[in-house]
Structure 1
Amino acid sequence: MNFLPDLIDNYVINHSQKEPELLKQLNRETWQKVLNPRMLSGAYQGRLLSIISKLTNPKNILEIGTYTGYSALCLAEGLQKDGELITIDKNEELESFAKNYFNKSDYKNQIKQFIGNAIDIVPTLNKKFDLVFIDADKSNYINYFNLIIEKMNSGGVILSDNVLWSGKIVEELNPKDIDTKILLEYNKLLNSDTRVETVLLPIRDGLTITRVK
């Protein structure tokens, strides 16, 4: 969902870096072959993820929610030469799709895929992270944060996607809408937890940048 007028949104896109050719192919194939292609980060947000990663120059990146691998490849652009990106997704049907593009990239030896529940996998990861991207089931955002906060290096960055949830976060809450309820609690948590400092950006469906103190 876009919260900017179309003319402004188009201007922003036209004056931002374009996606590399491999990602253009991945973008196209996702829309052609995969269900719910709107889950893709897309060119503009992908360039934002890329530049944040390049600015932080992380050694270890964790991504919760691989989908078809687009965001992982964007985040990998900022990895240190001996760095590693771990990406987790429970959808095994998309594993080979993402792996195909990982293997075509310059980061094929730096990206490690896990298939399964991140709630179970993250506690087994014996390393500290400099950059984390959360873009999975919204009902577990708070659980993911609680799992990763102790695994973050000081100065590390947590990126959280879809935190505006198509504007539902400012509408009257449907008691049965668990995702929106959790996102409201999550946004409040990020803005009140004394271990972090947070800015919520109204980009696409909302992206939060959280820095660990």
Structure 2
Amino acid sequence: MHFIPEALDNYVVAHSADEPELLKALTRETYQKVLQPRMLSGHYQGRLLSMLSKLIRPKTILEIGTYTGYSALCLAEGMQPEGELHTIDINEELHDFQRKYFDASPFGNQIYQYTGNALEIIPDLDRTFDLVFIDADKPNYPAYFHMIMEQMNPNGIILSDNVLWSGKVIEPLQKNDISTKALLEYNSLLKNDPRVETVVLPIRDGLTISRVL
């Protein structure tokens, strides 16, 4: 979804950093072999994730929702040399696809994969995080937030994807639309929780940056 005219959006992308060749290959194979390829972060948002990670310089990163590994590789670009990225996805069929690209990158031995329910996996990770990226099932966004707040380092950053949900957050709520309902709750939670300060970016499908106070 474009929040600015498509021609202007194309200009923005053309004048931002180029997409790395490995990520171009990952994108091509995702579109060839995997369902719902629009779930990829993609070139522009991927470069934004990379830039944010490079500014933050995290030692520990948690990603909730790996998909085919595109965003994990972008976030890994900003890790400290001894850093770790822990990424969780419910879909075991994508594990080998992800690992192939992780191992083809400079960060293969720093990226740890987990398959299953993130709400069950996160408490067992036994570490705190400098940077968290939430990009998984929308109904659980509030639960993810409450859980990860217990494991965030001071001044840690939480990035949340799809918070504008194709504009549905400003449309009349449909009775059975649990994803939009959860995102409305989540966006209000980030706005009002005194433990974080938050700004919403109208980029692609909406990206929120929250800083832990």
TM range, smaller chain: over 0.9
C-alpha distance in 1 between matches for 2:82 and 2:146: 27
Q: CA deviation at 1:3?
A: 1.3
- 1:100-148 CA distance string (max 9 Å, x none): 0001000001000000000100011111100000000000000000000
Aligned structure 1 segments of 4 or more residues deviating by more than 2 angstroms: none
**2:128 maps to what in 1?**
128
The answer for the alignment partner of 2:109 in structure 1 is: 109
Question: Counterparts of 1:18 and 1:165 in 2: how far apart (Å)?
Answer: 26
Q: Aligned partners of 1:138 and 1:85: how far apart in 2? A: 22
Partner deviation per Cα, 1:47-81 (whole Å, 9 max, x = no partner) = 00000000000000000000000000000000111
- CA RMSD after TM alignment: 0.5
1:153 paired residue number: 153
Task: Give the TM-score normalised by the residue count of structure 2.
Answer: 0.99
> Paired residue for 1:92?
92
Q: Which amino acid aligns with 1:76?
A: A
Aligned partner letter, 1:27: T
Question: How far is the alpha carbon of 1:150 from its aligned partner?
Answer: 1.3
2:173 corresponds to which letter in structure 1?
A: L
Distance (whole Å) between structure 1 residues aligned to residue 67 and residue 189 of structure 2: 26
Task: Tell me the TM-score normalised to structure 1 length.
Answer: 0.99
Aligned to 2:59: 59
Instruction: Look up the equivalent residue of 1:128 and give its one-letter code.
Output: T
Determine what percentage of the aligned residue pairs are the same residue.
68
Residues 36-57 of structure 1, C-alpha deviations (whole Å, 9 max, x = no match) = 0000000000000000000000
- Size of the alignment, in residue pairs? 213
Alignment partners' CA distance in 2, 1:29 and 1:126: 34
Distance in 1 of aligned mates of 2:65 and 2:43: 17
Name the counterpart of 2:137. Answer: 137
Q: Show structure 1 runs of 5+ residues with no match.
A: none
Task: Report SS of the residue matched to 1:79.
Answer: coil
